[in-house]
């Protein structure tokens, strides 16, 4: 979150006033369409309850900052991607807990498991404040008061973020190795399908809104690249590192990099100007 804030240029947020369709469409894809589509998948696939909760938690999380890099590789609208990541991260303070609670309570197989945890709404908001808002605020202060330092810190912070996430993934796998080995095939399939749906939803919504091709690519990648690191932190903070949730969030962090790089590389060979609607 601190690293994201270092890269945020508040001038980009003026895009909201000039191009509201792309911004609103992106936020709708991230916080409405994808969680709803994930709930449908959960009902159809009927995964183990803890895996279902993991899928819903990831779907309720904001976009990840790797989406900005991948959008750039894909020749998408990088400024739009950065704006959406910043807005969705800030909105996650309220929307992530609400979305997860809503869809989790509407899932018959997972609702009893969800209700077995005593979740304090105020505690969740306070934790989110520490995880999301505090580092964002500190990052913005550094960027405003010491822009040269922010520029120098940006790359090391990205590397540190990746290393921290890898450490979280390793811990999640180590603590839940037996569960992982038993369900890895299923979890991998669920995550791959869920991510494919996310990418397709983002791009399709951009097409429906008649956005430029570069914007559609940004929406697709913003929908398909989630802040699974945040999801993992929440799993350990509020759900005692529950096996299915932890493994699902951890595997998401691996898979969306693979799928994101694949689609970004493919798009990089097709300039947006050469792509026309059928």
CA pair distance 65, 74, nearest whole angstrom = 15
Give the rounded distance of the alpha carbon of 276 from its chain centre.
28
For the chain, the average pLDDT equals 82
C-alpha 50/C-alpha 232 separation (Å) is 13
- Residue 63: strand, helix, or coil: strand
Supply the pLDDT for residue 53.
Answer: 93
155 vs 93 pLDDT, higher one = 93
Q: What's the sign of the alpha-carbon dihedral 94, 121, 250, 42?
A: negative
- Give the domain CATH number at 269: 1.20.1530.20
Share of the chain above pLDDT 90, in %: 32
Pairwise CA distance, residues 33 & 31, whole Å:
6
Q: Are 171 and 24 in contact (CB under 8 A)?
A: no
What distance lies between CA 232 and its chain's CA centroid? 11
Please say if the pLDDT value at position 134 is more than 80: no
Q: How confident is the model at residue 223, as a pLDDT? A: 94
The mean per-residue pLDDT over the stretch 73-84 comes to 86
Mean pLDDT of the region 156-172: 70
pLDDT (average), residues 10-20: 65
Nearest to 242 by CA among 126, 105, 110, 73: 110
Question: Average pLDDT, stretch 115-143?
Answer: 69
How far is 89 from 96, CA to CA, in rounded Å?
9
63 phi/psi in degrees, rounded to 5 = -70, 155
Q: What is the pLDDT of residues 215-271, one digit of tens each?
A: 999 999 999 999 888 888 888 877 876 778 888 988 898 888 889 889 998 998 888
Least confident of 82-91, 113-122, 263-272: 113-122
How does pLDDT run across 17-36, given as a tens digit for each residue? 577 889 999 999 999 999 99
| Boundaries of domain holding 97 | 2-274
Task: Kindly state the helix (H) or strand (E) to which residue 129 belongs, with its residue range.
Answer: none
Residue 120 has pLDDT above 70, yes or no: no
**Domain count of the fold of the chain:** 1
Nearest-CA neighbor of 101 among 119, 89, 86, 84? Answer: 119
C-beta of residue 223 within 8 angstroms of C-beta of residue 188: no
Q: Give pLDDT, residue 149.
A: 78
* Cβ burial, residue 166 (10 Å; 0-12/13-18/19+): middle
Q: How confident is the model at residue 278 (pLDDT cuts 50, 70, 90)?
A: very low
Rounded to an integer, the average pLDDT of 106-112 is 90
For 11-15, the CB contacts below 8 A with 24+ separation are 12/79, 12/82, 12/83, 12/86, 13/83, 13/86, 13/87, 15/79, 15/80, 15/83
What is the length of the chain? 278
Chain centroid to CA 206:
18
In this prediction, residue 51 carries a pLDDT of: 93
Strand partners, 63: 226
Give pLDDT, residue 33: 96
- Determine if residue 252 is left, alpha or beta; phi over 0 gives left, psi from -120 to 50 gives alpha, anything else beta: alpha
Indicate if the alpha-carbon torsion angle 167, 47, 91, 259 is positive or negative: positive
């Amino acid at each position: 979150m601190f690293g994201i804030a270092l890269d945020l240029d508040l001038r980009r947020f003026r895009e909201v006033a000039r191009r509201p369709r792309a911004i609103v469409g992106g936020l709708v894809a991230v916080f409405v369409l994808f969680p709803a589509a994930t709930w449908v998948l959960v009902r159809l696939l009927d995964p183990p309850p803890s895996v279902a909760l993991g899928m819903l938690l990831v779907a309720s999380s904001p976009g990840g900052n790797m989406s900005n890099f991948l959008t750039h590789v894909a020749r998408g609208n990088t400024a739009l991607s950065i704006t959406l990541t910043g807005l969705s991260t800030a909105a996650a303070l309220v929307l992530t807990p609400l979305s997860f609670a809503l869809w989790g309570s509407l899932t018959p197989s997972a609702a009893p498991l969800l209700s077995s945890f005593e979740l304090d709404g105020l505690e969740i908001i306070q934790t989110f404040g520490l995880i999301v808002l505090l580092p964002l605020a500190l990052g913005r202060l550094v960027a405003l008061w010491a822009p040269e330092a922010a520029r120098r810190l940006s790359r090391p912070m990205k590397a540190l973020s990746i290393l921290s996430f890898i450490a979280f993934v390793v811990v999640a796998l180590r603590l839940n190795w037996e569960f992982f080995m038993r369900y890895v095939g299923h979890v991998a399939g669920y995550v791959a399908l869920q991510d494919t749906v996310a990418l397709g939803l983002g791009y399709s919504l951009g097409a429906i809104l008649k956005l430029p091709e570069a914007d559609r690519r940004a929406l697709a990648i913003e929908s398909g690249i989630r802040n699974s690191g945040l999801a993992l932190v929440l799993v350990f903070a509020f759900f005692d590192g529950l096996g299915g949730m932890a493994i699902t969030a951890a595997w998401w962090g691996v898979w969306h990099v693979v799928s994101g790089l694949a689609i970004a590389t493919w798009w990089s060979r097709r300039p947006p100007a050469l792509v026309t609607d059928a």
